[in-house]
Amino acid sequence: MMHDDPRRWWALAALALGVLVVGLDATIVNVALPTLADELDASTSQLQWIANAYNLVFAAALLPAGLLGDRFGRKRLLLASLALFGVASLGCALASNSGQLIAARALLGLGGAGAMPLSMAVLPGLFGERERAKAVSAWVGATALALPLGPILGGLLLDRFAWGSIFLINVPVVIAGLVAIVLLVPESRASVAPRIDLRGIALSATGLALLTFGAIEAGERGWGDAAVLAELGGAVALLALFGWMQVRLARTPGGHPLIDLALLQRPRYVWATLLATVVSFAVFGLLFVAPQYFAIVEGSDALGTGLKLLPLIGGLVVGSRAGERLLERLGTKAVLGLGFALMAGGLAAGATTDLGSGYGFAAVWIAVVGAGFGLALPTAMHTALGELSAERAGSGSALIQAVRQVGGTLGVALLGTILAAQYAGPGDSRQAFLDGMDTLLLVSAAAAAVALLLTLVALPRGAPAAEAAQSADGIPV
């Protein structure tokens, strides 16, 4: 344990920096696609794979990464994942053709899939329950900051350096993170090494990858496309078979399923995970449409578009800092409720945008959404983390990340379909885009409002700090 070691805050900084660079690669490449098309002579299909290879492998590898961390050591697997991420970043920067870049992006996703859940799973070994809310808030803040920071940083680098710079920037950060984790983060693992559920790994990885791919394709080809329906149907069938086999394995003496099914019997874990997924749904929708609004309606370039997302970062910082202070005083329900209320209100305000609104109006409602984001997501993640057992902290963290990843991907695909349906209509293209954006934001606001209602009605009562104390005694450290 390092609960009294002052170096724990340096360890947290290293973990936060690590997940920041992992998160950046989910969005930073998007601003480089036009450049990659010219430099690598990449086709539209190749560009899609360059963008999506990361997400496909990331989604597929999350659950296995958590289990392997529980078995072989979370620190060990975290170091291996970050090292792979650094090597893959170098491979991306040195790629001379689209095929090499796609392969390196897939390796990036594999490294990121290990780094994300395991960096969260080691937090209880660094912080006691009184400080854990602040630590989780910092971790979540780093992952959330990466989403809008990607386009900003990507625009700055591409404006001054070659396209490989958007990947090379990861390497020194990863090296620093590896050194800090070796020196500062304690090892932790399950007291009894869980068996490797190979069938569960194969089914979950294939099902999640196919679901992610189907959602991406649906956003481009429509939900009624025969291939999309086949992909989504196959994903549902595989995941249903995976769930059935997990239940069967859990009932078998000596069985070790990939997912700790006991977590699904803990209402606070289930509801906190679902609520965190709603946050991802709403914010991914905002990040999908806002850059397009700034480019299409306001005529901003890539860098200007990224800079106009700064109010989201400002709101996020304010919300997360306020959430730390409000959590012990008011409890989970109040902080989550306030967060979802701000998100719903900000998104609903954004849904009233017209051609004459201007950036000032956009900055205000985006900042309000950011504040709600900063309140809701760290609180939901802290609540879920407090429910994890000593034996399965890695796989429990991975399940949270997997559900959020799928929810965010499906959300972007669904909301993108809504936008495309409106944008394809007759009339002025800017007005048509605004009509689609307003509808999209209204749907996101409705999702946040439903989450607010579920928080008040379904989430069990209790101050998160106290409940974390009850469950933290056995958390691996």
Q: Reduce the DSSP state of residue 71 to 3 states and report it.
A: helix
Residue 77 amino acid letter: L
Angle at 288 between CA 339 and CA 205, to 5 degrees: 90
Q: In whole angstroms, give the CA distance from residue 329 to residue 346.
A: 25
Non-local CB neighbours of 122 within 8 Å, separated by 6+ positions: 15, 74, 75, 78, 185, 186, 188
329-362: per-residue pLDDT in tens? 888 899 999 999 999 999 999 999 998 898 999 9
**425 has pLDDT over 60:** no
Q: How many helices (H) and strands (E) does the chain have?
A: 19, 0
216-256: per-residue pLDDT in tens? 788 778 888 899 999 999 999 999 999 999 999 888 887 77
What integer is the mean pLDDT of 434-457? 93
Query: Which of 5-9, 129-133, 329-333 shows the lowest mean pLDDT across its residues?
Result: 129-133
Q: In whole angstroms, give the CA distance from residue 115 to residue 11.
A: 14
291-316: per-residue pLDDT in tens? 888 888 888 877 787 788 889 989 98
Cβ-based neighbour number of residue 470 at 10 Å = 12
At residue 390 the predicted structure's pLDDT band, cuts being 50, 70 and 90, is low
Q: Reduce the DSSP state of residue 225 to 3 states and report it.
A: coil
Please provide the DSSP assignment of 105-136 as one string. Answer: HHHHHHHHHHHHHHHHHTHHHH--HHHHHHHH
State the chain's mean pLDDT as an integer.
85
pTM of the model: 0.82
